[in-house]
Structure 1
Amino acid sequence: MSLNIDKFAKHLSDLSGYRRQALISREVFEKHVLSSSKTAASYIWMYYVNQDTKAETVTGDAFIQCSEKILGVITDKDQIKFYLKLFSNDKEMMSQTAFMDFLCSAYVLYRAVNKLGIGEEDSDASSPAAVSWMESVSKSAYHIKTEMSVCFLTNWILTNIPRLLNPMHKYIVVQLTTGHNVLKSGNKSSPVSQNGAKSDASSGVDDKVERDPTASLIHPVLMWFLRSSLPGKFLSVLEKKPEALRNATTTPQQLMEMLHLGEAAHPETWSLLYDSEDQGLSINRFQHHVFNYRGPTLMFVKADNDYLFCIATDIEWRESCHFWGGEESLLLMVKPEFRIVEKGAKIFYANFSIRGYPFGIQVGKDPRNLSIEIKPEFTYVSYKQIPCKIIRLLAWGCAPPQVKVSQHDLRKWEAKQAEKNRKVNLNNPEWKENPDKYLLELAGSYKSYDNQ
């Protein structure tokens, strides 16, 4: 990859007008390396010029050296620590303002690498709704403080949203390793921005968000956090990979180009199983629409006092007097703070008919100290024994669409069986010897004409 960066540095020097001095101007850097996010560009530029606030150029050698360091950041933990340090201006402590810039930049570049952005600074990231979702993460990480150590923030992100930086790092790596090809071809715009703009121009709207049926119910920023936090079992249906990526002979250069050109097949979406606004806030309706779905599900519980919880079950819902759930089960608090409350096996409980055991839905490892409890009336949700009135419940299925089809077919079969069992063939010879016939005659509800 070093040869590609060398070529890119020379192209940038030519565009800057400093070919002999081998210098790259800040304007050219921001335009051709990080055009999708001005905020990210300003922080990363400071990294390239070693925190020199007055620097307007960087040498080609320094550009190559810093770029190679970025390419050497591999693991999730290393990526998180590297970019936190970068956005804290190489300090051990990071302000909450810088952390919000960090989140905003990561989100904009996530949209850019997935061809969801608009080519320049994404206005969606600065909308009040987007800022509100990011503040829930910031509030959880900082508590009531205004500064936190990079070490603490690294561990907090690894615990709660471990894949947050993957798209951002992918974007920057792609820009550094394939940018020279774009400049060589004579196209002045950045590769990722070009693809994002093309997608928008063809439809006039943000295609992926508008076509995703979950978009009107799950805000794009929340969807990004969920992608960064949930185990792979909940995301597999959203992340189809092209056949080319499975080819062992694909070169690193081809891999990088495929990733930024977005050659993956269009992903599927989660299946909406239940929405209390449409089906009603009822345990019977919830059971009807969610039970017998043979796959992982996400259940969102919106309550007053700005509470929003996500109950992620990695197996199908079931009624039992015992706790159930696999190792990838978890409970997320989404608002007012975004964090994982519980995770692991056997943290879910659902009982609506088995007498002698508590009725309702419970979440928690310790039955004596539950994190979430919902009574069968579906009126209140208790978080740490504090009751909050339920406003809305939603449930999504996270398996392929055919699983929901199978659930629908099963419900139709059960309805037919129930109807079939209601009908009794009174002409059947076995009916004459049936005890029910004798009981009906004693009660006067049925008169036999067999002997007449």
Structure 2
Amino acid sequence: MGNQATRAGHVSAKKADAVTHTGDSANSVNNLSKSSSGTELESNMHMQFLPIESLAKILSHLTNDEERINGITASVFQRYLFPNYPELGEKLFNHLHHAANVSTSYLSANCFKQQAEKFLSVMNDQAVLENYVKMYSDIKGDGNINPDGLKALLNISYNIFMNNSGLSSCIYKGQIIDSAVSSCVNNVKSILQFHGKNALSVSYVSNWIWQNCARVIYGPHRYIIHVLTTAYRNGNALLSKEQPQPHLLIPTPILEQPDSPCFPQVLLPMSYVWLLSSTLPECYLQADNSPKDITHALIAKRMGNVCPRHWTLLYNSSEHGTGANRFLHHVLGYRGPTLLFIRTVSANEDTSRPIYCICSAIEWRESHLYWGDEDTLGIELFPSYRIIEKGAKVLYLNTNIRGYPHGLRFGSNPRSPYINIDESFHSVSIAGAPYPISTLEVWGCGDAKLRERQLEIKKWQVKEAEKQRIVKLSASDWQDHPDRYLLELAGRASYNESNK
């Protein structure tokens, strides 16, 4: 009886607990239904972003004073936040205005705050990229982007990079940007001509940029984040021309030039560095120097590397000489990622000179087998900009192993490699078309310590070679040395007379 009463007590207690939990859950459900949905809760969390709220108040106050409008207009937004990049400011405001779907030509402070927080809250890289392609598309029309819009997007990325790096503009800027635009357009040129269109869809352009230069919008995005989150600190002046403009600490490469001041050959242009840094894997951009702290590492990953910190010249055929032995002497022993630039000579003046880049993420080696890792790739720089192929076992270098092809090759198909440099390193075959080589350049993408180690190894090799040249022999050893008899047979008088 007592046991039964105890069990009954447990059962009644469990029922009471169940009723209590059920009541709590019901109350929580009622509270959720009375409050807001999950999406609204997330938006309420974004509303706590104080920098945007402060910025919206200042912009609204300025608009009211200057234009007597209770909201934020495009002219105030552009003049006070993007005085140095008015086109970028106009594109961003139009994008926020279109996303708000309002009937007025201006945005209310609350609406601007919501759209700005929504724009900054996008964390997916592909979604961020698509937002910028939409910004430079025909928002008011069919929503597609034409070649001029794509060129404008690349131009603003280049201008922000160059202005924040403190370097003068590169004369090859137009060439590399036109190369990227033509590569994107030429892939679907026949389709556009068939339908009589001169524009591309946002999804297609976004996908092409993601495949070939995914980080090209890192510069504009980083700049916009910096402006929207820090401009309020200057008060009502914001970032007008009277105020100091934001300067991003963008790390730039140290491109070492030859010692000769009369060296005529133009080395790696900065515009090529800018676009390559948006394409290459992180190992070429010195990702090893990223912060060890988890929080700062996440911030660094979010902001991204706009440009590599240090690239150093290892080999240039115009300065160091042409040939396989000169190439091997200057490149072997560098235990880091490298970039090999191949500049060709066109058959006639009317055709363009193709420029290619072979990117090796590991140390160069001589072998009768193909080698390389997943970060090894080939890039066509001019006349089109695109990734040819990427993957493991696509590189081949052999200059002395008999029974196997000699030269340097790139491509996963051993029977028909896409790039094939002959054993003399004077000509190259690209997709089966032969070209004379104008110059070959190899740049090391590691830190300074890797270059120092390579030079130390070369110094050690020179010392060992000098030691082997000087052979000290005693008099007794020389008497029976075979070289002595060879000299006597050759008619050296000193040896013949000494024997007589």
- Under TM normalisation by the shorter chain, which class is it? 0.7 to 0.9
1:107-140, CA deviations, whole angstroms, 9 ceiling, x for partnerless residues? 223445x4548xxxxx94xx76312211100111
Match of 1:69 among 118, 121, 129: 118
Partners of 2:322 and 2:394 in 1: CA distance: 23
For 1:79-98, list aligned pairs within 5 A. 79-90=128-139, 91-98=142-149
Partners of 1:277 and 1:235 in 2: CA distance: 26
Letter in 1 for 2:153: F
Partners of 2:330 and 2:218 in 1: CA distance: 35
1:149 aligns with 2:196: no
Question: Judging changes above 3 Å, is the alpha-carbon distance between structure 1 residues 340 and 288 closer, same or farther for their aligned structure 2 residues?
Answer: same
Question: Judging changes above 3 Å, is the alpha-carbon distance between structure 1 residues 69 and 443 closer, same or farther for their aligned structure 2 residues?
Answer: same
Match of 1:223 among 259, 273, 285: 273
1:233 aligns with 2:283: yes
Q: What's the secondary structure of 1:229's corresponding residue?
A: coil
1:31-78, CA deviations, whole angstroms, 9 ceiling, x for partnerless residues? 233333222222222113229999763321221122122112212211
1:398 aligns with 2:445: yes
Identity of aligned residues (%): 31
Q: What's the secondary structure of 2:368's corresponding residue?
A: coil
Partners of 1:53 and 1:109 in 2: CA distance: 31
Match of 1:57 among 106, 112, 127: 106
Number of aligned residue pairs: give it: 425
Q: What's the secondary structure of 1:88's corresponding residue?
A: coil
Partners of 2:321 and 2:468 in 1: CA distance: 28
Letter in 2 for 1:63: F
Following TM superposition, by how much is the alpha carbon of 1:106 offset from its aligned partner in structure 2, in angstroms? 2.3
Question: Judging changes above 3 Å, is the alpha-carbon distance between structure 1 residues 434 and 418 closer, same or farther for their aligned structure 2 residues?
Answer: same
Unaligned runs of 5+ in 1: 118-122, 200-205
Following TM superposition, by how much is the alpha carbon of 1:431 offset from its aligned partner in structure 2, in angstroms? 5.5
2:85 corresponding residue in structure 1: 37
Question: Judging changes above 3 Å, is the alpha-carbon distance between structure 1 residues 147 and 53 closer, same or farther for their aligned structure 2 residues?
Answer: farther
Partners of 1:96 and 1:4 in 2: CA distance: 36
Following TM superposition, by how much is the alpha carbon of 1:310 offset from its aligned partner in structure 2, in angstroms? 0.5
2:373 corresponding residue in structure 1: 326
The question of whether the paired residues in 2 share the 8 Å contact of 1:24 and 1:59 is answered with yes
1:129 corresponding residue in structure 2: 172
Unaligned runs of 5+ in 2: 1-47, 193-197, 259-265, 347-351
For 1:105-254, list aligned pairs within 5 A. 105-111=156-162, 114-116=164-166, 124=169, 129-143=172-186, 144=189, 145=192, 146-183=198-235, 188-189=240-241, 193-195=245-247, 212-213=255-256, 217-236=267-286, 240-241=289-290, 246-247=292-293
Question: Judging changes above 3 Å, is the alpha-carbon distance between structure 1 residues 136 and 251 closer, same or farther for their aligned structure 2 residues?
Answer: closer
2:32 corresponding residue in structure 1: none
The question of whether the paired residues in 2 share the 8 Å contact of 1:35 and 1:190 is answered with no
Q: What's the secondary structure of 1:394's corresponding residue?
A: strand
1:392-432, CA deviations, whole angstroms, 9 ceiling, x for partnerless residues? 11111111122222222222221221222122222175556
1:24 aligns with 2:72: yes
2:386 corresponding residue in structure 1: 339
Partners of 1:36 and 1:292 in 2: CA distance: 46
1:4 corresponding residue in structure 2: 51
Partners of 1:384 and 1:413 in 2: CA distance: 40
Partners of 1:75 and 1:191 in 2: CA distance: 33
Q: What's the secondary structure of 1:395's corresponding residue?
A: strand
Partners of 1:100 and 1:88 in 2: CA distance: 11
Q: What's the secondary structure of 1:93's corresponding residue?
A: coil
Question: Judging changes above 3 Å, is the alpha-carbon distance between structure 1 residues 187 and 164 closer, same or farther for their aligned structure 2 residues?
Answer: closer
The question of whether the paired residues in 1 share the 8 Å contact of 2:252 and 2:310 is answered with no
1:344-366, CA deviations, whole angstroms, 9 ceiling, x for partnerless residues? 11111111111111111111100
1:386 aligns with 2:440: no
* RMSD of aligned alpha carbons: 3.7
The question of whether the paired residues in 1 share the 8 Å contact of 2:343 and 2:356 is answered with yes
Partners of 1:289 and 1:4 in 2: CA distance: 52
- Greater shift, 346-355 or 29-38, is seen at 29-38
The question of whether the paired residues in 2 share the 8 Å contact of 1:46 and 1:89 is answered with no
For 1:254-403, list aligned pairs within 5 A. 268-303=309-344, 304=346, 305-403=352-450
1:230-280, CA deviations, whole angstroms, 9 ceiling, x for partnerless residues? 11111107x855xxx55457799xx69x979x9x9x974211111122122
Question: Judging changes above 3 Å, is the alpha-carbon distance between structure 1 residues 259 and 388 closer, same or farther for their aligned structure 2 residues?
Answer: closer
> Normalized against structure 1, the TM-score is what?
0.82
- Greater shift, 393-402 or 35-44, is seen at 35-44
Partners of 2:292 and 2:401 in 1: CA distance: 49
Q: What's the secondary structure of 2:229's corresponding residue?
A: helix
The structure whose Rg is larger is 2
Letter in 1 for 2:422: K
Question: Judging changes above 3 Å, is the alpha-carbon distance between structure 1 residues 61 and 207 closer, same or farther for their aligned structure 2 residues?
Answer: closer
The question of whether the paired residues in 2 share the 8 Å contact of 1:310 and 1:333 is answered with yes
The question of whether the paired residues in 2 share the 8 Å contact of 1:36 and 1:108 is answered with no
Partners of 1:185 and 1:38 in 2: CA distance: 17
Higher-RCO chain (CA-CA 8 Å, sequence separation at least 6) = 1
Q: What's the secondary structure of 2:183's corresponding residue?
A: helix
- Greater shift, 12-21 or 290-299, is seen at 12-21
Following TM superposition, by how much is the alpha carbon of 1:207 offset from its aligned partner in structure 2, in angstroms? 11
Instruction: Kindly indicate which of the two structures has a greater share of residues assigned to strand.
Output: 1
